[in-house]
Amino acid sequence: MLIRKLFKFENAHIVRNCSSDRCRRSIHGHSYKVEVLLEAHALDHGQMVYDFGLMKGSIRDVIDAFDHAVCFWDKDDPEYIRLCQQFSARWIALPVSPSAEQFARLFFVTIDALLKQTQMRNGESDDVRLHSVIAHETDTGYAQAFREDAYNPRMGEIRLAEIVFSEQVKAEWHDPRMMEKLLAGECFVNPEVLLQVPVPGGESR
Ligand SMILES: Nc1nc2c(c(=O)[nH]1)N=C([C@H](O)[C@H](O)COP(=O)(O)OP(=O)(O)OP(=O)(O)O)CN2
């Protein structure tokens, strides 16, 4: 069975070397929608694949890191990179170009690592795993990354250590050490009971 949770973020970028002229040499933004699809073949104590509420912890923080940020390929012109860093408090340096395809792969690799390092505590099936990630760049265009795409070196290697988040991005995470913990292989322990605390903007975590 598959479940799917939708997340949203606003982000600015340039995608070098693509065919669309507006896209390749003008900074522009998108209101992204990201669908995270999880798969399992048995259910937890709540008869769910994985509680949607649990997906509003670190998984949401990973995606929200990209909100109101500028993303650039770390192979872009050093002067462009320097100016992005100078004029945007929220920036993310990527080892791949910020196309919809690479966003889907990046989120797959990151969320896959998070789930593998998560101690689940409500009887979730031991085969709960990430099925795919869909990154909608516009209402009409999306890319969907499956496991074989995320780890396909022909599409560019995505090493988590090579994704660099600005200090402002990290400071706004619920745990500013989140990526550090992920890279160090530390365990993320799910709460036994999730309290739904409202946060500004009408959502809850
Ligand atoms: N396969 C991809 N193609 C394009 C990407 C991409 O990430 N993957 N990105 C772009 C640009 O970022 C562009 O802004 C979006 O392109 P497009 O869909 O053509 O945008 P429109 O706003 O013109 O969408 P319409 O719904 O067709 O008006 C280019 N291509």
pLDDT by residue (tens digit) across 150-161? 999 999 999 999
Q: Please, which contacts does 164-172 make with residues 24 or more away whose CB atoms are closer than 8 Å? A: 164/74, 164/92, 164/93, 165/65, 165/92, 166/69, 166/85, 166/88, 166/89, 166/90, 166/91, 166/92, 168/89, 168/90, 169/65, 169/69, 169/90, 169/91, 169/92, 172/64, 172/65
pLDDT of 196 reads 78
Which position among 23, 39, 131, 172 bears the catalytic label? 23
Q: Name the residue of 11, 13, 20, 101 to mutate for ligand 1: max ligand atoms within 8 A of Cβ.
A: 20
pLDDT of 202 reads 60
Q: Would you say the ipTM is above 0.90? A: yes
pLDDT of 44 reads 97
Is 84 catalytic? The answer is no
pLDDT of 112 reads 98
Residue among 3, 6, 1 at smallest CA distance from 107: 6
| pLDDT band at 203; cut points 50, 70, 90 | low
Residue bearing the CA closest to ligand 1, atom 25:
140
| pLDDT band at 198; cut points 50, 70, 90 | low
- Superfamily in which the 2-189 domain is placed by CATH: 6-pyruvoyl tetrahydropterin synthase/QueD (3.30.479.10)
Q: Name the residue of 21, 71, 138 to mutate for ligand 1: max ligand atoms within 8 A of Cβ.
A: 138
Distance 74 CA to ligand 1 centre (A): 21
Which position among 13, 71, 136, 137 bears the catalytic label? 137
What residues line ligand 1, using a CB cutoff of 6 Å? 15, 18, 20, 23, 28, 99-101, 137-138, 140-141
Is a pLDDT exceeding 80 seen at residue 197?
no
In three-state secondary structure terms, 16 is coil
Domain ranges of the chain: 2-189
pLDDT of 201 reads 62
Is 35 catalytic? The answer is no
pLDDT of 205 reads 59
Is a pLDDT exceeding 80 seen at residue 165?
yes
3-state helix, strand, coil in the chain (%, to 5): 30, 25, 40
Which position among 35, 39, 68, 172 bears the catalytic label? 68
Residue length, the chain?
A: 205
Residue 138, sorted as left (phi over 0), alpha (psi -120 to 50) or beta, turns out to be beta
- Tens digit of pLDDT for each residue in 95-143? 999 999 999 999 999 999 999 999 999 999 999 999 999 999 999 999 9
Distance 23 CA to ligand 1 centre (A): 8
Q: If you search the block for the tokens 């009408």, which residue do you land on? A: 202
pLDDT of 199 reads 64
Q: What's the whole-model pTM score?
A: 0.95
Residue 90, sorted as left (phi over 0), alpha (psi -120 to 50) or beta, turns out to be beta
CB of 151 within 8 A of CB of 61? no
- Tens digit of pLDDT for each residue in 39-91? 999 999 999 999 999 999 999 999 999 999 999 999 999 999 999 999 999 99
Is 137 catalytic? The answer is yes
| pLDDT band at 177; cut points 50, 70, 90 | very high
pLDDT of 200 reads 64
| Mean pLDDT estimate for the chain | 96
